[in-house]
Structure 1
């Protein structure tokens, strides 16, 4: 029974080390991606009229889609219209 307990503890220690290493590798690998995303986000001038119009259009399309969720024919028409113009 002692041998089983010590083997189980050794296995748990090994698994804890593996999880710790994986966690640190994921954190170090994601950090540059997050920094690049924030750099890209801050580089865009969000006050430009066409970006504001595009954002507004997509928000309006999302609201219309949610409101009309029970009207299948309208949803199909909206989808085809969006495919044609987008």
Structure 2
């Protein structure tokens, strides 16, 4: 997948962030290790299958922040439903 193909993917779609990570050579297990969470949790956050809950909200925010930093993008651009902290 190249940069031109990524623009065809809906930014709100589950594949958008996964594709960006792939293009930039960033692995989900690297994000998981950096934040101290499981790789499945990172996958669920990246594919939008997991949102914030009282219990996991702080971990999810950390994952989103780590992904955004790795990609050099604001969290709100990757997860438009996220309000700025």
Alignment TM-score, normalising by the size of structure 2? 0.27
With the length of structure 1 as denominator, give the TM-score of the two structures.
Answer: 0.27
- Greater RCO (CA < 8 Å, at least 6 residues apart): 2
More helix as a share of residues: 1
